[in-house]
Amino acid sequence: MIPVALPSGGVELGAWVDDADDPIGVIALAHGAGAGHEHPFLDGVAQAWSAAGFTTVRFDFPYRHAGRRMPGPAAHAIETWSAVESFCRRVLPGIPFVAAGKSYGGRMASVAAAEGRIAPEALVYLGYPLHPPGRPENARTSHLPSVAAPQLFLAGTKDPFLQPLADLEAAAASCQVADVRWIEGGGHSFEVAGTKLPAHEVGAATAHVALPWLAERLQRPAA
């Protein structure tokens, strides 16, 4: 269990762990606003990453844990991310910690990192919600340059949260260290029109795109 201290009182969140053999890193994987840890897309991501050597920890934000559908205050999500990092580093000490998340979950990780509440070795965003669809003037990017860790944006070229696509490129360019990997034709959940792959397979394929970047960013200096 992951204990989280909230203003309204403490809560203990479940931790769903996909163990890697001899892990080279631990990735905390947060869900999006509209689905919990059990979504098939996230299951596919977690299984792909664990098979590649990254123990993957999924969890639900407190609002999902309480059975609510709408996200709670941002402060609750940030506190949760802080508790999740502590859990991961306690359970798997001495290996790199990566914060990752689908849409809302990734954005909340970026805010927590910008505010110094977490200090991951890297962050991976699965469909970063750059702005509400059709409202590019309401960009959620001002905090991103304050994130010290390398950031990877996995993004679908048909994602309505990213139009125009140049806005994401500009946001990444404003960061200290950031890269974008485009999924051609992918929507917000990386679905591609005209294909009917199960969400689990879509998640696994998306997770594989991040692996070369993670290997490069997390390699340790020679002894």
Domain ranges (residues) in the chain: 2-218
Residue holding tokens 């201290």?
Answer: 5
Residue 222 has pLDDT above 60, yes or no: no
* pLDDT, greater one: 178 or 1: 178
Are the C-beta atoms of 97 and 24 separated by less than 8 Å? no
Length of the chain: 223
pLDDT at 195: 83
Mean pLDDT of 20-31: 95
Provide the 3-class DSSP secondary structure of residue 57: strand
Q: What mean pLDDT is predicted for residues 37-44?
A: 95
CATH 3.40.309.10 for domain 2-218: no
| pLDDT at site 75 | 93
Q: With 90 as the cut, is the pLDDT of residue 34 above it?
A: no
Q: Where are the beta strands (DSSP E) in 67-132?
A: 97-102, 122-126
**Separation CA 109–CA 76 (nearest Å):** 12
- 137-165 mean pLDDT: 94
> In whole angstroms, how large is the CA radius of gyration of the chain?
16
Task: Report how far residue 115's alpha carbon sits from residue 148's, in angstroms, rounded to the nearest whole number.
Answer: 10
pLDDT reading at 174 higher than 50: yes
Confidence (pLDDT) at 173: 97
